[in-house]
Amino acid sequence: MSEGVSPLVGTLRRARAVAVARVVAGGFEVLSRVGSATPLARPERYGAELAGRDLPYGPHPRQTVDIYRPVDSSGPAPVMVYFHGGGFRAMSKDTHWLMALRFARAGFVVVNVDYRLAPESPFPAAAQDACAAIRLAVDLAGRYGGDPTRLLIAGESAGANLTAVATIACCFERPEPWARAVYDLGVVPRASLPACGILQVSDTERFTRAKPLPLISRDALRDPEAAYLKRSLSAEVELADPLLVMERAPRADRPLPPHFLPCGTKDPLLDDTRRMAAAVSRLGGEAILRVYPGEIHAFHALVWRPAARRCWEEMTQFALDRSAPV
């Protein structure tokens, strides 16, 4: 809670933030369900298939993945691990079938990941699950026609945070056992694509200090911090803020993969995306920052919009270029 804020005001803010998060997530879930029921959502229309459903990587009901893949492939395909958004407290792989299908249509074996949600499962649950899902993707890739040496990681919003966490686990020798288990795989992603991410969950008041924001935006930004970080900040929650890890690191233990970082100018999270691009560049990595004028948070989900289509074209081309066989 910010200094000078009374307990009553803090409680009201948290309640309002939860309500806003539920409304936003509910609207997206309705759109996703309606879309998935149409013939246009059938993978076979796009030369793809849902090859694996609810494959477990842990005992919790949300520790599962779906596998999408192209039907016709001339050889082992690159593997895209995708983490959905939702502020760490909402949505699922089922709401994000469209993202998985778009990448499968482009030629990727896609591991579409569910993970445990806050506030019932606060940090480090989602970060641990992201790392476990990377390990599962490497293990399963060959079975579904994928090449585990051509691994890519992507996600949006909270999923972009987990994308950054998984990328760090691959490239930095971390003390957390669950992150170290990924490092020990020896696999460096061919590319990392964190879109419109909340890349620092702590101190979300930084956005309102930077510029005035509408009330609904302030509430939506406060909610992930309240839900995901339910304990006092310490070194134990460092990977909740992958942006700070990248900004403070003197070097990476392995070369960072190329990053594609898209965000709209009307997205209050734009500054996080810009800071991540600068941090990747400082550490010697390639950072492609794409800023889309006038676009809102997670605009690329609105696939009927010209800017969303352009973003998808640029993302998939970037991913295909970086994942080509060597």
Structure tokens that stand for 19 in this block: 């309500």
pLDDT < 70 stretches in the chain: 1-41, 231-235
- What pLDDT score was predicted for residue 36? 57
- How many domains is the chain built from? 1
In a domain, 21, yes or no: yes
Residue type, 211: K
In a domain, 39, yes or no: yes
Structure tokens that stand for 81 in this block: 């691990």
What is the DSSP pairing of strand 259-264 with strand 64-70?
unpaired
- What pLDDT score was predicted for residue 1? 45
In a domain, 225, yes or no: yes
In a domain, 1, yes or no: no
Domain of residue 237, CATH code: 3.40.50.1820
Tell me if 273 sits within 8 A of 193, measured CB to CB: no
In a domain, 2, yes or no: no
Alpha helices in the chain (DSSP H): 7-36, 97-105, 125-140, 158-171, 177-183, 206-210, 215-228, 242-248, 270-282, 306-322
Listing DSSP states for 242-310 in one string gives HHHHHHH-S--SSPPPPEEEEEETT-TTHHHHHHHHHHHHHTT--EEEEEETT--TTGGG-TTSHHHHH
Tell me if 87 sits within 8 A of 29, measured CB to CB: no
What is the DSSP pairing of strand 109-113 with strand 64-70?
antiparallel
Domain that holds residue 252: 7-322
CA 177 to chain centre: 21
Nearest-angstrom CA–CA distance, 5 and 144: 53
Nearest-angstrom CA–CA distance, 269 and 267: 5
In a domain, 175, yes or no: yes
| ∠ Cα 44 47 50 (to 5°) | 55
